[in-house]
Amino acid sequence: MSVTNDPLAEGSDILADEDPGSGLRSRRVRFPGYDTQVGPLGHLADERRRLDALEWQHFDVHRLAATVGAELRGVDLTAQLADPVIEEIRGALVDYKVLFFREQPLTAEEHVRFARRFGDLEVHPFIPSNTGQPELVRFAKSADVGGYENGWHHDVTWRAEPSQGAILHAIEVPRTGGDTLFADAHAAWQGLDDETKATIAELVAVHDYMQAFANQVPPDKVDETRAAYPPVEHPVVCRHPRSGKELLYVNRFFTSHIAGWELDESRALIDRLSRQFDQVEYQCRFQWEPHSVAFWDNRAVQHYAASDYWPDTRVMERASIIGDRPAR
């Protein structure tokens, strides 16, 4: 068998042949026989350049990837931050979509206090909380409890008003592994072909907590829980309330089907759209240290917690800020 490294080898399908850069080749090509493309993702360039030009007053910024993720340096989250600092953090979250902070030894009270500066907080009905602070979901993984957050998802899309953002604090981290990855939902939408964008523009998807949490509801609580959290509908493509950007808004954890579509067709589309988040160029990856903090915009990114550290211990606490109804 002969193997070629030349992506433009005979039989390859040339998907784009423009040259938006100064003399650079920007062809996307598909390998014959595979649904895999290689080549530059040119649609990231404008956003990358826009982010390159930003300046901030209250912190320094170290970007992690092309369009998503920035570490903010020079902010002490354990302190009572002045309103202008909070406003600037809010703005940076819109631009970078997920923010990271190092060496923030927050107490549970300080974590909740910081998160409340951005809105009221959720209490999660299924995941255990920090016993002292019901608004802090506690992910305590060990030999006895594996990590099951290793799939791309927005948090709590089964709520009629899913959280607008979440702040995750590392209490104890494994020696290796346990990274969290974030993927840009606007880049994921932009990267779709025009026909798919047109197909999904007006679609609505149904989200249901039963897909992920059915086995966490005691049998005698099923009816009560179902009444409190009926399946909800959200647009497949929603718009960010501040940036106005289109965001791909389906995930395999909670999206059960497309409203009005057969289940098989629905699942095939949801699966295909969800695979957009696999594109490494839309992602950043964060390696935790004790007392690192991540603050993500829960519309603008999906996240994925690598589950590669079992049977070691990883303990995280998350505060989630109540959001509004996703809209087109």
Q: Is the CB of 305 or the CB of 321 nearer to ligand SIN?
A: 305
Does 180 interact with ligand SIN (rule: CB under 6 A)?
yes
Q: Determine which residue in the list 305, 317, 319, 323 makes contact with ligand SIN, applying CB under 6 A.
A: 305
Residue 96 CA, chain-centre distance (Å), reads: 12
Question: If you write DSSP's letter for every residue of 153-209 in order, what string do you get?
Answer: B-TTTTSSS--SEEEEEEEE--SS---EEEEEHHHHHHTS-HHHHHHHTT-EEEE-T
Active-site choice (95, 155, 208, 297)? 155
By beta-carbon proximity to ligand SIN, the closer residue of 205 and 316 is 316
Query: Which residue in 27, 207, 299, 318 is the catalytic one?
Result: 318
Residue 316 near ligand SIN by CB under 6 A = yes
For position 281 contacting ligand SIN by CB under 6 A, the verdict is no
The answer to whether the beta carbons of residues 252 and 153 sit under 8 Å apart is yes
Q: Answer yes or no: 318 catalytic.
A: yes
Residue of 71, 88, 135, 155 interacting with ligand SIN (CB under 6 A): 155
- C-alpha to C-alpha distance for 248 and 217, rounded to whole angstroms: 29
CB 308 within 8 A of CB 200: no
DSSP-derived pairing of the beta strands 180-184 and 246-248: unpaired
Is the separation of the CB atoms in 81 and 101 below 8 Å?
A: no
Q: In whole angstroms, how close is the CB of 286 to ligand SIN at the nearest point? A: 8
Shortest distance (Å) from residue 307 CB to ligand SIN: 9
Q: Does 318 bind ligand SIN (CB under 6 A)?
A: yes
Cα distance from N-terminal residue to C-terminal residue, the chain: 50
Spot the catalytic one: 28, 159, 257, 303.
303
Q: Which amino acid is at 82?
A: A
- Report the residue number whose CB is nearest to ligand SIN: 305
Cβ at position 70, least distance to ligand SIN in Å: 17
Catalytic residue check, 153: yes
Residue 111 dihedral angles phi and psi, to the nearest 5°: -60, -50
Q: 3-state class of 305 per DSSP? A: strand
Which of the residues 27, 28, 111, 153 is marked catalytic? Answer: 153
Q: Is-catalytic flag, 303?
A: yes
Total site size for ligand SIN, rule CB under 6 A: 9
Closest to 158 measured CA to CA, from 218, 226, 237:
226
Minimum gap (Å) between residue 305 Cβ and ligand SIN: 3
Annotation says 234 is catalytic: no
Q: Quick check: 302 binds ligand SIN (CB under 6 A)?
A: no
Per CB under 6 A, which of residues 82..141 are in contact with ligand SIN?
139
The DSSP-derived string for 61-118 is EEE-SSSS-EEEES--TTS---HHHHHHHHHHHHHHSEEEESS----HHHHHHHHHTT
Nearer to ligand SIN by Cβ, of 47 and 155: the residue is 155
Give whichever of 174 and 326 is closer to ligand SIN, judged by the CB atom.
174
Instruction: Give contact residues for ligand SIN (rule: CB under 6 A).
Output: 139, 149, 155, 168, 180, 303, 305, 316, 318
Q: Indicate which residues carry an active-site annotation.
A: 153, 155, 303, 318
